[in-house]
Amino acid sequence: MLIKFPPDWLTIPGHVDTLLAPTNEFFGSSTRVVSVAFYTTALKFAGNYMSQGHQFMEVNNALNKFDTRRDWRLFNRWRPPKGAANGLPPKWLRLINFPHGFN
Write the pLDDT tens digit of every residue in 51-79. Answer: 888 888 999 898 889 987 887 888 777 77
H or E stretch covering 26: helix 15-27
Look at residue 46 in the predicted model and tell me its pLDDT.
84
Residue 54 vs residue 13, higher pLDDT: 13
Query: Alpha-carbon distance 1 to 4, whole Å?
Result: 10
SS3 17: helix
Contacts for 58 with CB less than 8 Å, ≥ 6 apart: 35, 36, 37, 38, 73, 74, 75
Phi, psi dihedrals of residue 95, rounded to the nearest 5°: -65, -20
Quote the distance between the C-alpha of residue 21 and its chain's center. 19
Q: Summarize the confidence of residues 20-32 as an average pLDDT.
A: 92
Query: Alpha-carbon distance 103 to 89, whole Å?
Result: 16
